[in-house]
């Protein structure tokens, strides 16, 4: 099944959020995360690294003992900061921040080499190794993030200063990589440039960028494997590959033949997002089918209830179906950000709300858990259970997650809606205003509500003239019994591919009122997930809940919920910035003595459970946490 027409996210400038749930997070992102990231990039030398290539232009090689020694991925962190800061300017014009971005862009432009190449590490530190190890190093990955930064910078400010730089760089790379005479049939070990080139194509309309992205995707996994050819060219034995398998970077078979999500989770998500974008641009049925197979594999076998993915630290990624440990869950924040990228594109490609359901799950849970309420402390891994020692940090040896969080939060408006010539789709419920053209007319759609704490959502229509078009409102899979009225009259809310669909002649003043029933609900894992056998998770709307030890009168491992007992929800305006908590009667095992083992089962005593959204865990003092709780059958 397909959507009636292709959909695209609205431009950053077309959406304004004024939402009670999201606005505090977006303000913390603007006021605290962006300055904190910039300060760290200054402190570690990532910004000063753009001055080092000036020495290289003069023929001076910078020794590794220099006071600033770039890391191979520093360029990507700077680029993501530029992208996030640029998006922030759309909703909060800030002359000082604008000037700060301009300064960084100027330094980047100054570091670009005469042939268009741009990478601080391989220009200043190891110029002889430039473009010799795409399997392990990050040149094309860095280039991709720089391209994405340039696209957002241009969309937000109208400036072309960084766009001109990345177009030169893209043309240089397109001359290096390809199947023509003198070119290398290579592609990146860490995917990212593919989706970046597609974004560059959409903003410039230049098919050379579409063609280059298509080349990278078509070449991936082809035989002979480029990474083996590349290793031989630099004098290495391909069998010495540290990861042991090209599944690690999804290069084991061509992309259209892939059936299982394998390897490094972030790389996989970036790859699949690009595949979905190209499938939409080309109408490529085989590429779309591959995306749908991979999606089914992930969501049926390997996705955490929180929207996290990649249980293993050893490969920062996937292991085997149904392997979902809780206390050792890696679930990298960047992977859930990438999942949201992929899900948004799949929802637009197929018109199916099931993809937007997962996008919402990732955004409201693992993405938000990755940053503190204050906006200046972060998680790389997002476990579903902790003994209280897993805490947020201000910086990391590989600080990819904080600027990734910053850019997705700053561009959240792109995820709320999707638009096409004769349709407006509402994917997320957040108080906001969309201004766009539909059916040849200017539309302002205003959304109001208190989601996710309450399920009553109101949308009002303003038009320059009456117009006939379709409004699609997502009905989440958990929302049983949703109701919808238009101008006070009930209309059919039965989901069509996950959306209530209303096609009519709309006029200014028309109003839609959607009600999504919100009650606490219990969720159980597939029996093959051995780590969750006998356990239950709690959800409320899009939010997954957890228990933190400081809210309970019993140890979390000793506490259990009797099956069938009712749970209640209550909004607490004083807790964690204002959250709805879930409460209910529970029982706890009682310690009967000092013996490590006993022939007698433990006795129990009644207690109460208080659960908070997983999105806000670890924002108080150190304390144990669990998502999956024991359940007692009475």
pLDDT tens for 47-58 read: 999 988 766 665
pLDDT, average across residues 275-281: 97
pLDDT band at 68 (very low <50, low <70, confident <90, very high): low
Kindly calculate the radius of gyration of the chain based on its CA atoms and give it in whole angstroms: 25
Residue 445 lies in a domain: yes
- 241-262 pLDDT, tens digit per residue, is 999 999 999 999 999 999 999 9
pLDDT over threshold 90, residue 208 = yes
Q: How far apart are CA 295 and CA 276, in angstroms?
A: 11
Q: How far apart are CA 147 and CA 281, in angstroms?
A: 19
Q: How far apart are CA 565 and CA 544, in angstroms?
A: 19
Residue 579 phi, psi dihedral angles, 5° rounding: -140, 155
Structure token digits, residue 228: 């083996």
Instruction: Say what the pLDDT of residue 63 is.
Output: 60
pLDDT over threshold 50, residue 222 = yes
pLDDT over threshold 90, residue 25 = yes
Residue 10 lies in a domain: no
pLDDT band at 60 (very low <50, low <70, confident <90, very high): low
Q: How far apart are CA 534 and CA 560, in angstroms?
A: 10
At residue 454, the 3 state secondary structure works out as: coil
The answer to whether the beta carbons of residues 542 and 364 sit under 8 Å apart is yes
pTM of the predicted protein model: 0.96
Same domain, 501 and 627: no
pLDDT, average across residues 150-155: 98
Same domain, 484 and 526: no
Residue 372 lies in a domain: yes
Instruction: Say what the pLDDT of residue 450 is.
Output: 98
pLDDT over threshold 60, residue 1 = no
**Mean pLDDT, the chain, integer:** 95
Same domain, 509 and 541: no
pLDDT over threshold 50, residue 72 = yes
Same domain, 427 and 373: no
Q: How many domains does the chain have?
A: 3
Residue 566 lies in a domain: yes
Same domain, 190 and 325: yes
Q: How far apart are CA 487 and CA 504, in angstroms?
A: 12
pLDDT over threshold 90, residue 65 = no
**Which domain CATH number covers 444?**
2.60.420
Instruction: Say what the pLDDT of residue 3 is.
Output: 37
Compute how many other C-beta atoms are within 10 angstroms of the C-beta atom of residue 180.
8
The answer to whether the beta carbons of residues 107 and 45 sit under 8 Å apart is no
Residue 3 lies in a domain: no
Residue 384 lies in a domain: yes
Residue 389 lies in a domain: yes
Domain that holds residue 437: 418-515
Instruction: Say what the pLDDT of residue 55 is.
Output: 62
Same domain, 301 and 335: yes
Instruction: Find tokens 């179906």 and name the residue.
Output: 321
- Give catalytic residues, as residue numbers: 316, 400
- 291-320 pLDDT, tens digit per residue, is 999 999 999 999 999 999 999 999 999 999
- 459-485 pLDDT, tens digit per residue, is 999 999 999 999 999 999 999 999 999
| H/E stretch holding 436 | strand 432-438
């Amino acid at each position: 099944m397909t959507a009636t027409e292709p959909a695209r996210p609205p431009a950053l400038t077309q959406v304004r959020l004024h939402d009670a749930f999201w606005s505090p997070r977006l303000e913390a992102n603007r006021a605290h995360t962006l300055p904190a990231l910039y300060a760290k990039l200054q402190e570690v030398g990532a910004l000063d690294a753009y001055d080092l290539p000036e020495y290289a232009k003069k023929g001076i090689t910078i020794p590794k003992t220099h006071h600033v020694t770039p890391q191979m991925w520093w360029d990507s962190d700077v680029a993501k900061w530029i992208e996030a800061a640029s998006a922030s300017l759309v909703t909060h014009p800030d002359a000082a921040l604008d000037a700060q971005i301009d300064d960084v862009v100027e330094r980047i432009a100054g570091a670009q080499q005469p042939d268009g190449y741009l990478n601080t590490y391989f220009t200043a530190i190891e110029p002889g190794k430039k473009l010799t190890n795409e399997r392990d190093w990050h040149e094309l990955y860095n280039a991709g993030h720089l391209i994405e930064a340039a696209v957002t910078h241009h969309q937000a400010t109208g400036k072309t200063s960084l766009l001109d730089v990345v177009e030169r760089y893209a043309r240089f790379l397109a001359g290096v990589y390809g199947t023509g005479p003198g070119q290398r049939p290579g592609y990146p070990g860490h995917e990212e440039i593919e989706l970046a080139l597609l974004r560059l194509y959409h903003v410039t309309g230049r098919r050379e960028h579409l063609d280059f992205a298509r080349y990278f995707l078509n070449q991936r996994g082809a035989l002979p494997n480029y990474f083996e050819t590349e290793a031989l060219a630099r004098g290495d034995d391909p069998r010495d590959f540290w990861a042991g398998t090209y599944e690690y970077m999804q290069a084991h078979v061509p992309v259209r033949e892939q059936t299982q999500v394998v390897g490094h989770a972030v790389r996989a998500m970036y790859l699949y997002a690009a595949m979905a974008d190209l499938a939409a641009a080309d109408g490529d049925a085989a590429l779309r089918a591959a995306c749908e197979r991979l999606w089914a594999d992930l969501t049926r076998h390997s996705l955490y209830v929180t929207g996290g993915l990649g249980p293993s630290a050893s490969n920062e990624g996937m292991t085997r179906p149904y392997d979902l440990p809780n206390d050792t869950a890696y679930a990298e924040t960047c992977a859930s950000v990438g999942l949201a990228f992929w899900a948004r594109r799949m929802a637009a490609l197929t018109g199916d709300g099931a993809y937007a359901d997962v996008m919402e799950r990732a955004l409201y849970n693992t993405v938000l858990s990755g940053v503190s309420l204050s906006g200046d402390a972060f998680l790389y891994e997002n476990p579903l259970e902790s003994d209280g020692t897993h805490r947020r940090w201000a910086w990391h040896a590989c600080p990819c997650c904080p600027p990734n969080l910053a850019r997705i939060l700053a561009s959240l408006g792109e995820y709320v809606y999707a638009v096409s010539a004769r349709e407006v789709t509402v994917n997320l419920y957040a108080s906001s205003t969309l201004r766009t053209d539909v059916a040849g007319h200017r539309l302002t759609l205003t959304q109001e509500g208190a989601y996710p704490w309450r399920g009553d959502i109101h949308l009002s229509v303003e038009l320059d003239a009456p117009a006939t078009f379709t409004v699609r409102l997502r009905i989440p899979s958990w929302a049983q019994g949703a109701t919808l009225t238009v101008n006070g009259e009930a209309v059919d809310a039965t989901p069509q591919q996950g959306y209530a669909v209303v096609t009519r002649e709309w006029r200014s003043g028309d109003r839609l009122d959607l009600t999504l029933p919100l009650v606490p609900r219990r969720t159980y894992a597939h029996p093959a997930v051995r780590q969750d056998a006998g356990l239950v998770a709690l959800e409320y709307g899009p939010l997954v809940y957890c228990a933190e030890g400081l809210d309970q009168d019993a140890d979390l491992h000793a506490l259990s919920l009797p099956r069938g007992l009712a749970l209640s929800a209550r909004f607490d305006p004083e807790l964690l910035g204002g959250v709805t908590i879930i409460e209910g009667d529970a029982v706890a095992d009682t310690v009967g003595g000092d013996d490590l083992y006993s022939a007698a089962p433990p006795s129990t005593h009644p207690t109460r459970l208080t659960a908070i959204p997983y999105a806000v865990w670890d924002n108080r003092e150190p304390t144990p946490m669990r998502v999956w709780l024991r359940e007692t059958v009475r």
